[in-house]
Amino acid sequence: MTASMKARLRRAAWAGAALAAAGLCTGTAGAQGLKQYDSSGKAFWKNPPPDWFLGDETSAQKGLAPPANPALPASDEELTDNLKAVKLPAGFSISVYASGVPEARQMAFGDKGTLFVGSFGATNVYAIVDQGGKKVVKTILKGLNMPTGLAFRDGALYVVAIDKIYRYDNIEANLDKPPEPVVVYDDMPSYVAHGWKYLTFDKDGWVYVPFGPPFNIGNPPSSVSQIRRVDLKTGAAEIVALGVRNSVGGDIDPRTGRYWFTENARDWMSDDIPSDKLNMISKVVEHFGYPYCHQGDMPDPKFAQGRTCSEFTAPVAKLGAHVAPLGMKFYTGSSFPAEYKNNIFIAEHGSWNRHRYQGGRIERVVVDPDGKNAKMETFASGWIKGDREYSGRPADILVAPDGSLLVADDWAGAIYRIAYTK
Amino acid sequence: MSGAGSRARRPARRFSGPIRVALGLLTLLAVAPARAAEAPEVAQACLACHGEALAEGAPPIAGHSSNYIQLQLVFFRAGRRKNEIMQGVAEGLSDNDIRALGKYFASLPVPDAKPPADTRAELTRTGEATAARHRCAACHGDAYLGIQAAPRVARLPEAYLAKALTDYRAGTRPSSGGAAMTEVAGALSDADITALAHYLAVLP
């Protein structure tokens, strides 16, 4: 990338932020005919606009309501049955690591081998410990507001619940009586819509935090639709990416230290566009296109507002429409064959408003450190039955200390283990 | 357009003749096997209040989806949905009890209750407009019989509907389907809730 291109990107990013802010404050002439969301009052920041996930649908898309989570986690018998349908490359096998983990989302290992797991609507954080070869699930925290994201560092568990990041010190010694948390960051809006988050520490101890807009498509206030990097020791924060819609997954590239992240594209254009994305931040601050441009090359039919896609950073890979990529990890283990080293695994949660669901699987992406030559293949699939039925929905990925791959499933309420057994 | 006339013609506007016949047949098919369902032992306690004669404040639960019934029992058991009686009952239920109760009540026919006579036609119209503005039908369906995570809300008791919406708005009742109800109810006014509850309760 040339210096002038970089400068242009930088300008585009800041112009984008300014335009978004202007659009909201004044309802500019350029945005005429577009929906306007008034972010000047408290209501916007407390509740999403009433059309945040419905309202843009065409008549052909009407009735594509969100699928209902099973009320209870799947039983061991059901899980065994479900996993029989899962297809993997030769030499790999999948088994149940732990069952009875309602709405399991982001996972992180503690230093002493505890697996911590966040949840979506269940309000819980779980700790899964090994007791004589049996995995025991303890609900260590209850009553949190969408505690989807968590991370472990220096003996402490960090949990993000919409508008607060909590720290629980010396957690592994206190699983049965976790300490009172310390709020380490709370400069975040309190709305729930696209407000559920994912936490990723980099090597320097800064944590990457995504901020989704509280609607499907619109000119976002300039404090959201971005990714921040936060130093939880000091509360210092900086914006590292703009123009990001709903991101609930990311990881640091072990080769370069750069942050890569998944992003869910806007809804209701059609079953097949636009594509969800895998992105990489190569420079602070890049703009990834939302709401002007989708999938790197598709101006929004209404919200392009005169901008062109060339102003924005294109994705590393187009993952497909409505596949809903969530958690992702670089493969840093050593028990898989050598060609898997530094590949990316992405947990695709699958569609909720596509006539025929897709995603609901694990994708493998092989890609150069600079984001070039991305190749994708499906690594694990088989959780979709018929047109619109799930037996499971992968929500996060984690490389276990032994090199196997763990998968959190928030539909079946379970953690799976994928091992290379040859 | 008068309130009564508007209501009388509404179904014809929404579904053409053949579709209505098909819907009618589907309903018949859905409820046909229900009569054979045997009440599990654990359901006896439920039927005391939610049986053919409803106890005060108890909504009809027959014919809701198994998933919806299970979710509510899980919420009561975890103390996330508050009701003294229901929390007490749900406390002792095992996962398998909850599965059995969901299956049983879902197998029962939807109560064939005639909607109460609508004495407040203007409020009904306000409710209809409010429902359109808040896109209730997008998830609950044009006839409000429920789709996926969204339950049937047509012809439930008015006071129950108003309480449910108030509780969703206050965040004291958990929502399924990605917190959808918590979010859509957040912006409702008291007047909106009154009108919506009335409109849904008297749906023909």
Query: What are the pLDDT digits (tens) for A91-132?
Result: 999 999 999 999 999 999 999 999 999 999 899 999 999 999
Q: Give the strand order in the sheet containing A259-263.
A: A250-252, A259-263, A276-280, A317-320
Q: pLDDT digits over A7-27, tens only?
A: 444 444 443 333 343 333 333
ipTM exceeding cut-off 0.90 for this assembly: no
Cis peptide before A285 (omega within 30 of 0): yes
Q: Tell me whether residue B16 is in a domain.
A: no
Interface test with A, best of B67, B183, B188, B196 (most A CBs within 10 A): B183
Q: Is B86 annotated as a binding residue?
A: yes
Show which of B68, B91, B107 is a domain's final residue: B107
| pLDDT at res. B29 | 43
CB contact under 8 A, B182 and A54: no
Q: Where does a domain end: B57, B75, B107?
A: B107
Residue B5: pLDDT above 70?
no
- The predicted-structure confidence for A337-382, as pLDDT tens digits, reads as follows 999 999 999 999 999 999 999 999 999 999 999 999 999 999 999 9
Measure A200 CA to nearest chain B CA, in Å: 23
Q: For the segment A275-296, what is each residue's pLDDT rounded down to a tens digit?
A: 999 999 999 999 999 999 999 9
| Contact criterion met (CB < 8 Å) for B80 and A123 | yes
Residue B187 in domain: yes
Identify whether residues B100 and B130 lie together within a single domain: no
Please check whether residue B29 lies inside any domain of the structure: no
Q: Which residues pair with A260 in a beta bridge?
A: A251, A280
Per residue in B96-130, pLDDT (tens digit) is: 999 999 999 999 999 887 888 889 999 999 999 99
pLDDT at A259 over 70: yes
In chain A, pLDDT over 90 holds for what percent of residues?
82
- How far, in Å, CA of A107 to CA of A67, rounded? 23
Q: Any idea where the domains of chain A sit in the sequence?
A: 3-13+77-420
CB pairs under 8 A between A and B: 83
Residues whose CB is less than 8 angstroms from the CB of residue A153 and which lie 6 or more positions away in sequence, other chains included: A201, A205
Domain match, B68 and B99 both: yes
Determine how many CB atoms are found less than 10 A away from the CB of residue A286: 23
User: B126 and B95, same structural domain?
Assistant: no
Q: Which structural domain, as residue segments, surrounds residue B94?
A: 37-107
B139 and B193 fall within a common domain: yes
Instruction: Classify the C-alpha dihedral B150-B113-B55-B186 as positive or negative.
Output: positive
Residue B103 and residue B49 share a domain: yes
**Pair B148, B126 in one domain:** yes
For domain A3-13+77-420, give the CATH number: 2.120.10.30
Residue pair A253/A208 in contact by the 8 Å Cβ criterion? no
C-alpha separations of B178 from A157, A395, B12, B68 in Å:
25, 14, 33, 14
Query: Could you tell me which chain A residue has the CA closest to the CA of B174?
Result: A121
Q: Find residues 132-151 of chain A whose CB sits inside 8 Å of chain B.
A: 146
The tally of domains found in chain B comes to 2
A55 contacts in B (CB within 8 Å)? 135, 138
pTM: predicted TM-score of the whole model, two decimal places: 0.86
Using an 8 Å Cβ cutoff, are B155 and B200 in contact?
A: yes
Among B54, B96, B93, B58, smallest CA distance to B76 is for B93
pLDDT of A33 = 66
**B10: in domain:** no
Say yes or no: B90 and B165 in one domain.
no
Q: What is the CATH number of the domain that holds B186?
A: 1.10.760.10
Contacts with A284 (C-beta within 8 Å, 6 or more apart), sequence order = A238, A239, A240
Q: Are A329 and A261 in contact (CB under 8 A)?
A: no
Tell whether B188 and B122 lie within a shared domain: yes
CB A223 within 8 A of CB A214: no
CB of A326 closer than 8 Å to CB of A248? yes
In the structure encoding, which two tokens stand for residue A168, read together?
Answer: 């629980």
Environment class of residue A274 by beta-carbon count within 10 Å: exposed (0-12), middle (13-18) or buried (19+)?
buried
Q: How far is B46 from chain A (nearest CA, A)?
A: 18
Q: Is the peptide bond preceding residue A394 cis, with omega within 30 degrees of 0?
A: no
d(CA B120, CA B131): 16
Is residue B125, in this structure, part of any structural domain at all?
Answer: yes
Mean pLDDT of A263-267: 97
Question: In this complex, do B183 and A70 lie within 8 Å of one another by their Cβ atoms?
Answer: no
Asked if residue B160 belongs to a domain, the reply is yes
The strand order across the sheet containing A92-99 reads A92-99, A414-420, A405-409, A394-399
